[in-house]
């Protein structure tokens, strides 16, 4: 009987669904998701003491370095050319609407003034400046949304239970997930409470325990609940390469468009109804790599942005800033080109919903408007529409009987606006 009354009350909506252990995003959170979805373009920043080695952010692991040697890089981290405002203005001019900065990567180095570890940018470097705080302020001033990357795995801490990476750093392992979990909670509280404009958290490293003989319990839902209790509108995403976990607010895909698996990270990743984001590097590395000048062209990056939007996804485009505090010139050039394009064609990207893929390219949508992005070399296209067009931005023919729209004399990279009745 008691059970029946419980279900009746629940059915009438008197008991919040959270009592069933299900995450109920607040209105604020849903609004933040909607805005995030509309942004379509963000900048990912992998910056830390690893940048000094110029070998990418995995150098501690890949170089089989001992932690005492590796962390000496902190004592000479002095990015004399770092100007948060200049960075953020360059990102804003590119048309990006948010940034995601590595607050702490797998090497465990914190890019803010944390009380939880002396291994941080203020206490361990001669620079002594809270670069995360400076970037947070610059974003606030420029109206750019501020998100943070946070590594769940740690190659330095003794209490982190060893996973599949970071075996050679020479630490005296004393695995204790309770203590490590508390450390993460304390750090995340600092990030959310001391920096008021942190609107999103991007977790990474979950996969470090995917091959454990005994399944590892990261206690993600507990962590997510804690974060949402501190800041209900904070958007949480996790680069775990699996289906979304209860409590997440957006879903990300590494080096692949949602539903694709060319990079091999997403064989089991189904596409959810949450806002989507794909991340990709401008060259081949996330962190600064002195030997990697293999940058994708501006045209390739714009095409990726268009294809992401057509899948209903944001593009989080990565840059690995240099140890001297400069954004690599090749990255700045591409940002400028993307900015020029976005100023002209941004309406076909921002605030759009997913479209379709065709042999000649893709579409994006906004209400009754469809944008045709011609991505391949084509002379003419024919498209079947479900409604009659009332406006097409180029000369066209419409067959009323077959409901087909024919457009000729087109060129690669044209964007055609089609408005339906
Ligand atoms: O190991 C990290 C890597 O360094 C980088 O941060 C990327 C970004 O998506 N995520 C991890 C690899 O999956």
Residue 312 inside a domain? The answer is yes
**Domain enclosing residue 371, as ranges:** 357-420
Q: What confidence score (pLDDT) does residue 94 get? A: 99
Q: What confidence score (pLDDT) does residue 17 get? A: 43
Per-residue pLDDT tens digits for 260-307: 999 999 887 899 999 999 999 999 999 999 999 999 999 999 999 999
Per-residue pLDDT tens digits for 146-205: 999 999 999 999 999 999 999 999 999 999 999 999 999 999 999 999 999 999 999 999
- Cβ of 107 closer than 6 Å to ligand 1, yes or no, is no
Q: Given 297, 320, 348, which residue is the final one in a domain?
A: 348
Q: Given 348, 366, 398, which residue is the final one in a domain?
A: 348
The CATH number of the domain where 271 resides is what?
Answer: 3.20.20.80
Mark whether 380 and 241 lie in a shared domain: no
- Which residue shows structure tokens 């011609």? 374
Per-residue pLDDT tens digits for 8-51: 444 443 333 455 679 999 999 999 999 999 999 999 999 999 99
- Cβ of 286 closer than 6 Å to ligand 1, yes or no, is yes
Q: Given 309, 330, 348, which residue is the final one in a domain?
A: 348
Q: What confidence score (pLDDT) does residue 282 get? A: 98
Residue 172 inside a domain? The answer is yes
Mark whether 331 and 400 lie in a shared domain: no
Q: What confidence score (pLDDT) does residue 8 get? A: 47
For 110-130, give one letter per residue: b (16+ CB within 10 A) or e. Answer: bbbbbebbebbbbebbebebb
Rounded distance between C-alpha atoms, residue 153 and residue 400, angstroms: 59
Residue 266 inside a domain? The answer is yes
Mark whether 39 and 101 lie in a shared domain: yes
Asked if pLDDT for residue 60 goes beyond 80, the answer is yes
Mark whether 406 and 257 lie in a shared domain: no
Number of domains in the chain: 2
Mark whether 299 and 325 lie in a shared domain: yes
Q: Which of 254, 279, 280 to mutate to test the pocket of ligand 1 (most atoms within 8 A of CB)?
A: 254
Please give the structure tokens belonging to residue 352.
């759009």
Mark whether 127 and 79 lie in a shared domain: yes
Residue 3 inside a domain? The answer is no
* Ligand 1 atom 7: residue of nearest CA: 286
Residue 120 inside a domain? The answer is yes
Query: pTM value?
Result: 0.95
Helix 220-230 to helix 177-194 angle, to the nearest 10 degrees?
20
Mark whether 214 and 275 lie in a shared domain: yes
Mark whether 272 and 293 lie in a shared domain: yes
Q: Which atom of ligand 1 is nearest to the CA of 149?
A: 6
Q: Which atom of ligand 1 is nearest to the CA of 318?
A: 8
> Which residues of 98-225 form beta strands (DSSP E)?
98-104, 145-151, 198-204
Mark whether 313 and 375 lie in a shared domain: no
- Residue of 79, 184, 168 lying closest to 132 (CA atoms): 79
Per-residue pLDDT tens digits for 205-247: 999 999 999 999 999 999 999 999 999 999 999 999 999 999 9
Residue 17 inside a domain? The answer is no
Q: What confidence score (pLDDT) does residue 20 get? A: 62
Mark whether 43 and 177 lie in a shared domain: yes
- Residue of 254, 247, 31 lying closest to 145 (CA atoms): 31
Residues written for the chain: 421
Percent over 90 (pLDDT), the chain? 93
Tell me the pLDDT band of 115, cut-offs 50, 70 and 90: very high
Mark whether 180 and 308 lie in a shared domain: yes
* Residues 6 or more apart whose Cβ sits within 8 Å of residue 341: 95, 298, 302
- CA angle, 390 then 374 then 362, to 5°: 80
Mark whether 46 and 160 lie in a shared domain: yes
Residue 21 inside a domain? The answer is no
Residue 325 inside a domain? The answer is yes
């Amino acid at each position: 009987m008691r059970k029946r009354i419980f279900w009746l009350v629940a059915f009438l909506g008197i008991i919040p669904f959270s009592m069933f252990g299900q995450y109920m995003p607040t209105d604020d959170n849903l609004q933040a998701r909607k805005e995030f979805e509309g942004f379509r373009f963000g900048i990912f920043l992998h910056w830390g003491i690893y940048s000094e080695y110029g070998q990418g952010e995995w150098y501690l692991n890949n170089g089989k370095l001992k932690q005492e040697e590796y962390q000496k890089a902190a004592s000479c981290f002095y990015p004399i050319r770092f100007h948060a405002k200049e960075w953020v203005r360059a990102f804003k001019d590119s048309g990006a609407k948010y940034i995601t900065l590595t607050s702490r990567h797998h090497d465990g180095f914190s890019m803010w003034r944390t009380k939880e570890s002396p291994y941080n940018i203020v206490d361990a470097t001669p620079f002594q400046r809270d670069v995360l705080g400076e970037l947070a302020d610059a974003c606030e001033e420029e109206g750019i949304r501020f998100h943070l990357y946070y590594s769940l795995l740690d190659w330095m801490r003794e209490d982190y239970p060893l996973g599949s990476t970071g075996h050679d750093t020479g630490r005296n392992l004393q695995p204790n997930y309770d203590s490590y979990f508390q450390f993460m909670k304390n750090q995340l509280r600092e990030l959310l409470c001391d920096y008021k404009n942190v609107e999103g958290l991007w977790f990474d490293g979950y996969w470090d325990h995917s091959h454990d003989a005994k399944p590892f319990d990261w206690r993600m839902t507990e962590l997510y609940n804690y974060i949402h209790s501190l800041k209900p509108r904070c958007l949480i995403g996790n680069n775990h390469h699996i289906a979304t976990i209860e409590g997440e607010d957006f879903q990300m895909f590494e080096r692949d468009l949602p539903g694709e698996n060319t990079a091999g990270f997403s064989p089991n990743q189904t596409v959810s109804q949450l806002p989507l984001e794909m991340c990709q590097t401008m060259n081949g590395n996330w962190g600064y790599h002195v030997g990697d000048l293999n940058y994708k062209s501006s045209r390739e990056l714009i095409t990726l942005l268009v294809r992401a939007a057509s899948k209903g996804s944001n593009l989080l485009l990565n840059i690995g800033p240099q140890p001297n505090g400069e954004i690599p010139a090749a990255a700045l050039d591409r940002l400028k080109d993307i900015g020029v394009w976005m100023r002209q064609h941004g309406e076909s990207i921002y605030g759009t919903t997913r479209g379709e893929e065709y042999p000649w390219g893709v579409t994006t949508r906004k209400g009754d408007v469809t944008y045709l992005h011609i991505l391949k070399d084509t002379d003419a296209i024919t498209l079947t529409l479900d409604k009659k067009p009332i406006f097409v931005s180029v000369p066209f023919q419409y067959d009323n009987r077959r409901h087909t729209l024919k457009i000729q004399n087109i060129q690669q990279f044209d964007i055609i606006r089609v408005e339906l009745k």
